[in-house]
A and B are shown apart, each in its own frame.
Chain A
Amino acid sequence: MSVVFSKPHALTDAVLHYCPGCTHGIIHRLVAEVIDEMGIEGDTIGVCPVGCSVMAYDYFNCDMIEAAHGRAPAVATGVKRALPDKFVFTYQGDGDVAAIGTAETVHAAARGENIVIVFVNNTTYGMTGGQMAPTTLPGQITQTTPFGRDTAVNGFPVRVVEMLATLSGTALAARTAVDTVPHVRETKKMIRKAFENQKNKAGFSVVEVLSTCPTNWGMSPVDALERLRKDMIPYYPLGVYKDADIHNSPEVK
């Protein structure tokens, strides 16, 4: 008998607290697989956010730091500057990356900070019970937009990777999803590329992963995946928005 499927070493044995049908588990696994495959667990420091993945420090086997809400890119910067040869990644949600931590996100990218941000976009604040997120779609009903997100009141969703792709310090800005097997494979490929970028000191890499929140969307896991395809992907098109050698651009002095 041979083992054909096992948990990546970079994940601990702790039981994930995520709700049934939530795709955080898949994304955790993909990050852990990449760490395993690159053989870098002992050289990696992860920074987790405030939000659903607040306790990711219990799930990843590498050294972990828990940051204040939105501050993970700044904390990661501190670690990376102190230990430039180590791998540093953050794992953050939409509120963390695109609301309270927008400045930290944008400036880490602008500095070309040699870190990886894994950004999980599920268009809602999951941990606090489903309030409007900066990525909540127009018309989407949440606890704080009970009549649907009204753009006249709440403005428009932030397309994070498109925005970060405009910055010269960004080496990789990609959006993927985890609704289908091909998309899951693509997601892993992009996370791997992001970590390889860091290894090559290529600059700032962000991978936005469209994810589901069946609990707060009030849907079955299957329906939630369907919503991701039907509503989210059209608003947040998948693709690689930037893949560049920032150190050899004409702007570099």
Chain B
Amino acid sequence: MKGNEALAEAAIRAGCKCFFGYPITPQTEVAAYFAKKLPKVGGTFLQAESEVAAINMVYGAAAAGVRTMTSSSSPGISLKTEGISYICGADLPCVIINVQRGGPGLGGIQPSQADYFQATRALGHGDSRVIVFAPSSVQEMVNVVNDAFNLADTYRMPAMILADGLLGQMMEPVEFPETEAKTFDKPWATTGHANAREHNIANSLYLKPDVLEKSIIDRAARYAEIEKEHTKADCYLTDDAEIVVCAYGATARICKSAVNAAREKGIKAGLFRPVTLWPYPKKELIKASENAKCLLTVEMSTGQMIEDVKLSIDCKKPVHFYGRTGGIIPTPAEVLEQIEKLTGEGV
């Protein structure tokens, strides 16, 4: 199954009832799949007039208490950031997919990982966070969709799946878990009070600074809990690794091939692959790099995740960088060359 379609199918199985989107390459298959399948299961697919409208429709449906999502690609996500900030401010759950392409501006349509900063730090103004998953295979796309909905509902906040055009277009075998989608009580939802309770308000406006501060501090406490409880990473051959390659998403696949090739040459290389980008799996990275002499971060950008890698280990070990960008995908040979260079230098 194609990555984009697997994402959509997983979302439907997770109980997503409303999808709102706007066409943009390379994620259009996500919307097309929803258009075909959602009405058949009693859900709503709606093509909005803009990315901005789409995320605000998500806001409305989330306030109404249903599982809802949108998907887009880099330039479209920039447009959505207004709505994402309001959704954070109103403490509403939803899932947002970014099938990244090259930027800035219109950029290109080939795979990219240049939106790491935006996803982990800047999905809208204000003191807010979004949980970010970075799947690395079609199967993992499926798995994280479910996790994303569950964490979004648990913590009443948006969750993003940060994919790229390569994962979206790729076809791999996939199995859908048999488990029933979890359901959550949503006593806060604006569903009409039915004369049975006080009116609910979904709102992000607090004109009194002390009230606003309290709401932000409450939210920050939830963020702290998420940082403690919900980091996830995949460590491959890191136990004895002298060089730990750090990469996420499609790039991690390429790096895995490079690590395998390095091992064949007798180089003790390992791969650290964060599955959650926010919260960043710091303790997992510290453990994975225990025996490492140095780290190599590989990204399809000019170096964004490298900041989290350095922060995670308090810059205690040298962290090197290799990246391709603009839609160019690094090859296993290029990464292997970097590994050889770094280990050969005896770092």
What is A's interface to B at a CB cutoff of 8 Å?
12, 41-45, 47, 54-55, 57-58, 60-68, 71, 74-83, 86-87, 103-104, 106-107
Question: Which residues of A are found within 8 Å of B64, using beta-carbon distances?
Answer: 45, 78-79, 82-83
Interface membership of chain B positions 202-231, coded 1 if the CB is closer than 8 angstroms to chain A and 0 otherwise: 111100000000000000000000000000
Structural contact, B192 and A75, CB atoms closer than 8 A: no
Given the interface pairs A54-B205, A64-B201, A68-B82, the reply to whether A41 lies near B44 with Cβ below 8 Å is: no
Q: How many residues of B contact A (CB 8 A)?
A: 41
* Contact of B57 (CB < 8 Å), options: A41, A57, A77: A77
Structural contact, A63 and B201, CB atoms closer than 8 A: yes
Structural contact, B203 and A103, CB atoms closer than 8 A: no
Question: Which residues of A are found within 8 Å of B254, using beta-carbon distances?
Answer: none
Structural contact, A64 and B202, CB atoms closer than 8 A: yes
B20 within 8 A of A: yes
Question: Which residues of B are found within 8 Å of A66, using beta-carbon distances?
Answer: 90, 201-205
Structural contact, B83 and A65, CB atoms closer than 8 A: no
Distance from A128 Cβ to chain B, minimum over Cβ atoms (Å): 14
What's the Cα separation between A118 and B61 when bound, in Å? 21
Structural contact, B192 and A65, CB atoms closer than 8 A: no
* Contact of A81 (CB < 8 Å), options: B44, B193, B204: B44
Question: Which residues of B are found within 8 Å of A55, using beta-carbon distances?
Answer: 205
What's the Cα separation between A21 and B190 when bound, in Å? 32
Distance from B48 Cβ to chain A, minimum over Cβ atoms (Å): 7
B63 within 8 A of A: yes
Looking across the interface, which residue of chain B has its beta carbon closest to that of A61?
B199
Distance from A67 Cβ to chain B, minimum over Cβ atoms (Å): 7
| Contacting residues of chain B (62-95) with chain A, CB-CB under 8 angstroms | 62-66, 68, 82-83, 86, 90
Structural contact, A63 and B190, CB atoms closer than 8 A: yes
* Contact of B61 (CB < 8 Å), options: A12, A61, A79, A106: A79
Question: Which residues of A are found within 8 Å of B66, using beta-carbon distances?
Answer: 82
B183 within 8 A of A: no
Structural contact, A42 and B49, CB atoms closer than 8 A: no
Looking across the interface, which residue of chain B has its beta carbon closest to that of A110?
B49
Given the interface pairs A74-B48, A74-B52, A75-B63, the reply to whether A65 lies near B201 with Cβ below 8 Å is: yes
Looking across the interface, which residue of chain A has its beta carbon closest to that of B203?
A66
* Contact of B191 (CB < 8 Å), options: A12, A45, A54, A74: A45
